[in-house]
């Protein structure tokens, strides 16, 4: 399973990239606004230099012509840009065009299995179902992931990867992995939560204390 980080904060991206566990990045207009970055294009170039994997950069327009122009421009910024388009008729038309010329496309704002089928037919590299936002309105976000994974598995010609998005807690990630979601895009705070378990902390404290009682060292003393 691939882990993308869901942020436009370059400092956080650099910190997580250093762990070696990061496979890509997703941004969106809200995350860019939150980051305070003054120049979106320069930000995407910097993120693409920091992380080797796909970096989702979202178009801002909603009409086909402008969206396509923006998508073509964003695709030229770096080899690892995945142009992000909304799941609308115009967005899928742009997806079809860009994927046809070999550009990675992430179709975002997917809220139903029917929409995910359309994204696959449009040649999307990734489809992003937003599980947290469905949970927020009393629906079952993870059921959507299960449904899409089941549908895609029946059609080998669908090459689209299921990118679980709008992740709110570690259990979303675990459930997505159990269901066979190819990717999860995760906010930095939740990636940090994935490491945590109280028994790990307790066990480590005991090992450190017992090792000190031994009075031994693993590394030889360095010559002065
Ligand atoms: C995905 O690409 C989106 O950026 C993101 O996961 C949306 O999450 P939110 O619902 O927490 O805004």
pLDDT at 131: 98
Quick check: 224 pLDDT over 80? no
Of the listed ranges 52-56, 152-156, 170-174, 218-222, the one predicted with least confidence: 218-222
Q: What is the pLDDT of residue 223?
A: 79
pTM: 0.96
DSSP notation for 113-127: HHHHHHHHHTT-SEE
pLDDT cut 90: percent of the chain above it: 98
In this prediction, residue 211 carries a pLDDT of 97
Our answer on whether the CB atom of 108 is closer than 6 Å to any ligand 1 atom is: yes
Q: Could you give the domains of the chain?
A: 2-197 (3.20.20.70)
Alpha carbons 132 and 140: distance in angstroms, whole number = 9
pLDDT digits (tens, 9 = 90+) for 80-137: 999 999 999 999 999 999 999 999 999 999 999 999 999 999 999 999 999 999 999 9
According to DSSP, the residues that pair with 55 across neighbouring strands are 25, 81
Measured distance CA(130)–CA(167) in Å, rounded: 8
The pLDDT, as a whole number, for residue 65 is 98
Look at residue 26 in the predicted model and tell me its pLDDT. 98
More confident residue, 224 or 140: 140
% of the chain surpassing 70 pLDDT: 100
Predicted confidence band of residue 187 (pLDDT cuts 50, 70, 90): very high
- Report the C-alpha gap between 220 and 176 in whole angstroms: 45
84 labelled catalytic: yes
Q: What are the Cα distances from residue 159, in Å, to 116, 137, 139?
A: 12, 30, 27
Which is catalytic among the residues 14, 76, 84, 121? 84
**Ligand 1 proximity of 185 Cβ (cutoff 6 Å):** yes
Give the tokens for residue 208. 């450190």
Q: Whose CA is nearest to atom 12 of ligand 1?
A: 166
Cβ-in-10-Å burial (0-12, 13-18, 19+) of 82 comes to buried
- What single-letter DSSP state applies at residue 215? T
Ligand 1 pocket member 128 (CB < 6 A): yes
> Residue 176 is encoded by which pair of tokens?
């997505």
Average pLDDT over residues 55-64: 98
Q: Find the helix or strand (DSSP H, E) in which 46 lies.
A: helix 40-50
Mean pLDDT over 197-218 rounds to 97
How much distance in Å is there from the Cα of 6 to the middle of ligand 1?
A: 7
Region of 169 on the Ramachandran plot (φ > 0 left; ψ -120 to 50 alpha; else beta): beta
């Amino acid at each position: 399973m691939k882990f993308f980080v869901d942020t436009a904060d370059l400092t956080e991206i650099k910190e997580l990239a250093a762990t070696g566990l990061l496979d890509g990045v997703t941004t969106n207009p809200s995350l860019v606004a939150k980051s305070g970055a003054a120049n979106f294009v320069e930000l995407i170039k910097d993120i693409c230099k920091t992380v080797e994997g796909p970096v989702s950069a979202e178009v801002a327009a909603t009409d086909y012509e402008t969206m396509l122009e923006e998508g073509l421009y964003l695709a030229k910024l770096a080899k690892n840009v995945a142009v992000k388009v909304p799941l609308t008729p115009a967005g899928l038309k742009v997806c079809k065009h860009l994927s046809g010329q070999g550009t990675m496309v992430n179709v975002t704002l997917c809220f139903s299995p029917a929409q995910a089928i359309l994204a696959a037919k449009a040649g999307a590299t990734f489809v992003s179902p937003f599980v947290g936002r469905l949970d927020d309105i009393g629906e079952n976000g993870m059921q959507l992931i299960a449904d899409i994974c089941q549908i895609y598995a029946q059609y080998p010609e669908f090459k689209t990867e299921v990118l679980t998005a709008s992740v709110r807690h570690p259990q979303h990630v675990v459930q997505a992995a159990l269901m066979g979601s190819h990717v999860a895009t995760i906010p930095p705070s939740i990636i940090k939560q994935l490491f945590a378990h109280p028994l790990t902390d307790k066990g480590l404290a005991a090992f450190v204390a017992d090792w000190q009682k031994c009075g031994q060292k693993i590394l030889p003393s360095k010559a002065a």
